[in-house]
Amino acid sequence: MKLQRRIFSYPVLLACILLMAVAECRFRISGGLPAGGEGGGGSAVGETKYTATSCRAHTASLTDFGAVGDGVTSNTKAFQAAVTALAEFSGDGGGLLYVPAGQWLTGPFNLTSCMTLFLHRNAVILATQDMNEWPVIDFLPSYGRGRDAPGGRYSSLIVGSNLTDVIITGDNGTIDGQGGFWWAKFHHKQLKYTRGYLVELLYSDQIFVSNLVFLNSPSWNIHPVYSSNIIIKGITISAPVHSPNTDGINPDSCSHVRIEDCYIVSGDDCIAIKSGWDEYGIAVGMPSQHIIIRRLTCVSPTSATIALGSEMSGGVQDVRAEDITAIDTESGVRIKTAIGRGGFIKDIYVRRMNLHTMKWVFWMTGNYNSHPDQKYNPDAIPDVEGISYSHVTAENVTTAEGWRE
């Protein structure tokens, strides 16, 4: 179908106005904590460059492609047809896909470069529970297998690879993974492959996620991997606190990341910074680095506010976290490593944390013994250094233990 240029109907005009407010041309993420942290260190967080256009030259509504927002009709083909049409304009001002009010049931779909996915306030993207719509894809090279099971993994819901300039945003619309279906199968050991995530972008640059609600992911919620120049701000993530592995935001072998003004309730770590698993992560050798986390609120009674690892074999360095609030979490900061991981965790600076009701404030282990297989090198010992905490207040802490051999 032929897409129009600069359609200024009310919904799309609203989308453009909101995007003008949230999409900047360049973001510095070194603000807050100084380079090298408070009082030391030689590393610098540096700049995240983001050149996304605030309003795309070409726009389309999901309904232009035959989508039906009744919560029952599958719209997988409509989503993919819309993205395919917008891909033609990646070199001509890019394209915006508007998701209007309604419940839009879909299986996984790919994004394209120079694209904005914009959800109306009353739009809900619903992940289908039809297993036939979930393709099985290869495991990540830095993991060597799926996390839940050996072999491949189910696709994530919203995916993309080798992209540049991607915006996923809205007027606080919702992306609902309907994860209860997956959690039950996981608990009953009925899954042959690893569960997918709500959003996974690989080998991509200039990623912007904002102003959305993410609900009930099958597993992790937002997973940028092998990517750079990432901004995630103003989002809400929610899953039952006993749902399995529903991490909030997991930058994985990513550089120049800013996460701010997010509210996360999850059944696992609110934020987990990763970089690959044992010999596979060592071989890929892509660290997660130059990361700012600020103004985060976390609820996670069984896990951490911020975790480093446990899959950290490519290294984690130069992380700044400030103005963090944790309510009913198991730990404030958790560092997880193991013999065979290799890699490093260094130059971590945390300040101004307010912690309320938890088991541990800081928790660190070198014995987090999960391995992809038995081929790991027992001489690959992680290096942990340059960890700094300041201006941390905590109340109702039940356990003093914080380091495990």
Q: Report the CATH number at residue 29.
A: 2.160.20.10
- Residue pointed to by tokens 């990517």: 227
Domain presence at residue 314: no
> Per-residue confidence of the chain (405 residues) as pLDDT tens digits?
555 554 434 455 454 545 544 444 333 333 444 334 444 444 445 565 555 445 899 999 999 999 999 999 999 999 999 999 999 999 999 999 999 999 999 999 999 999 999 999 999 999 999 999 999 999 999 999 999 999 999 999 999 999 999 999 999 999 999 999 999 999 999 999 999 999 999 999 999 999 999 999 999 999 999 999 999 999 999 999 999 999 999 999 999 999 999 999 999 999 999 999 999 999 999 999 999 999 999 999 999 999 999 999 999 999 999 999 999 999 999 999 999 999 999 999 999 999 999 999 999 999 998 999 999 999 999 999 999 999 999 999 998 765 555
**% helix, strand, coil for the chain, step of 5:** 10, 45, 40
Domain presence at residue 37: yes
What six digits make up the tokens of 278? Answer: 């044992």
pLDDT in tens, 120-166: 999 999 999 999 999 999 999 999 999 999 999 999 999 999 999 99
- The pLDDT value given to residue 272: 99
Domain presence at residue 61: yes
Alpha helices in 251-393 (DSSP H): 278-284
CA atoms within a 13 Å half-sphere pointing along the CA-CB vector of 235: 26
For 392, which DSSP code?
A: E
**Rounded distance, CA 312 to CA 276, Å?**
5
**Rounded distance, CA 37 to CA 350, Å?**
8
**φ, ψ for residue 17 (rounded to 5)?**
-60, -45
> Please, what's the b/e burial string for 346-369 (b: 16 or more CB within 10 A of its CB; e: otherwise)?
bbbbbbbbbbeebebbbbbbbebe
**Rounded distance, CA 48 to CA 290, Å?**
9
Phi-psi region of 172 (alpha: psi -120 to 50; beta: other; left: phi over 0): left
- Neighbour count for residue 10 (Cβ, 10 Å): 7
Domain presence at residue 403: no
Angle at 332 between CA 329 and CA 334, to 5 degrees: 110
For 2, which DSSP code?
A: P
**Rounded distance, CA 374 to CA 380, Å?**
13
Longest dimension (CA), the chain: 64
**Rounded distance, CA 104 to CA 107, Å?**
10
Domain presence at residue 99: yes
Asked if 99 contacts 125 with a C-beta cutoff of 8 angstroms, the reply is yes
Query: How many residues are recorded in the chain?
Result: 405
- The pLDDT value given to residue 369: 85
Is 34 exposed, middle or buried, given 0-12, 13-18 or 19+ CB atoms closer than 10 A? middle
Query: Which of the residues are catalytic?
Result: 268
| 109 DSSP β-pair partners | 158
> Please, what's the b/e burial string for 132-159 (b: 16 or more CB within 10 A of its CB; e: otherwise)?
ebbeebebbebbbbbbbbeebbbbbbbb
Domain presence at residue 63: yes
Q: Which domain covers residue 207, as residue numbers?
A: 4-288
| 322 DSSP β-pair partners | 294, 351
Closest by CA to 161, choosing from 200, 209, 208, is 200
Domain presence at residue 190: yes
**Rounded distance, CA 297 to CA 81, Å?**
37
Residue type at position 382: P
- Counting the structural domains of the chain, the total is 1
Domain presence at residue 303: no
